[in-house]
Amino acid sequence: MEAKVEAQPAIRVRVPVVPEPKEGASAAAQHELKMAARDVNLWYGEKQALFDVNLEMFDSSVTALIGPSGCGKSTFLRCLDRMNDVIDGCRVVGDIRLDGEDIYAPRVDPVQLRARVGMVFQKPNPFPKSIFENVAYGPRIHGLCKSKTEYEEIVEKSLTRAGLWDEVKDRLDESGTGLSGGQQQRLCIARAISVNPEVLLMDEPCSALDPIATAKIETLMDELRKSLCIVIVTHSMQQAARVSQRTAFFHLGKLVEVDDTSKMFTNPTDQRTQDYVTGRFG
């Protein structure tokens, strides 16, 4: 469930630089390190769900997390913006850093962290507000705008980046819940990017959508990754192959293997990865 939080204005806006690809270099080598997880373990009460996960996530790229149901993909994703903090009995041990800073340090405000690390959930969850207010919500609670004109500019920019502006520009006062499923998901993406996050987490964002809406979201991801670090959980290996530059395979709470997406699907190192991507289990 998405937590409703209040915050003080403290958003850092950055100007992204998309590096030129280096011929023959791996996807990781082409981009700057944005987030890094080291020896991450997680327990729900007495049950351990993650075991010594080590994963690097890079700027201007998409990292896909794949694996069978219950393998820890979404659990790990929620560690990256501390959404697991709201779950009673959940305990995280290890080191997760954003731009080299420990996101679990006592001085870190989880609310401000979630402004830098946005989240899009599996099921579209627009607020029961107008389309305009759905997008303006984040900038409003973080105090990013001083005038109605500034809110209008952010709403238009965010909806445009989310590929939704042309479809809703004449009905911004209508409820966001009245949109189609695919439009609702793009509205949620617009809401997430309205505060200029540096990282965007997406937990199976297309699982409830039809193929046409899914294609629009995938095209959107390809555009957004130019200025964001995106981490996506997906059950669809075809989707991982289409949208990501790096893929990480999870199994039974452990990160089995991570590599460039092309290599993961054609020449994985671990037999378990080979068995999963070829459909022998999962």
| Residue 229 CB-density burial (10 A; 0-12 exposed, 13-18 middle, 19+ buried) | buried
Asked if 231 contacts 80 with a C-beta cutoff of 8 angstroms, the reply is yes
Angle between helices 148-161 and 181-193 (to 10 degrees): 120
Mean pLDDT of 219-245: 95
Residue 59: half-sphere exposure toward Cβ, Cα within 13 Å: 17
CA dist., res. 26 & res. 40, Å (int): 25
Q: Answer yes or no: is 18 within a domain.
A: no
Q: Which residues pair with 47 in a beta bridge?
A: 44
Query: Within a domain: residue 12?
Result: no
Here the tokens at position 47 are: 């049950």
The rounded percent of the chain whose pLDDT value lies above 90 is 84
Confidence bin at 226 (pLDDT 50/70/90): very high
Asked whether residue 17 is domain-assigned, the answer is: no
> Each residue of 97-155: pLDDT tens digit?
999 999 999 999 999 999 999 999 999 999 999 999 999 999 998 888 889 999 999 99
pLDDT in tens, 171-215: 999 999 999 999 999 999 999 999 999 999 999 999 989 999 999
Q: Is the pLDDT of residue 3 over 60?
A: no
pLDDT of residue 218: 95
- Structural domain range at position 252: 29-277
Please say if the pLDDT value at position 17 is more than 70: no
CB 270 within 8 A of CB 257: yes
82 lies in some domain: yes
Distinct helix (H) and strand (E) counts, the chain: 10, 10
- What is the model's pLDDT at position 26? 63
Write the CA distances from 72 to 37, 97, 266, 281, integer angstroms.
14, 19, 24, 16
- In tens, the pLDDT along 236-250 reads 999 999 999 999 999
Asked if residue 193 belongs to a domain, the reply is yes
Q: What is the CATH number of the domain that holds 271?
A: 3.40.50.300
How many domains, in total, are found in the chain?
A: 1
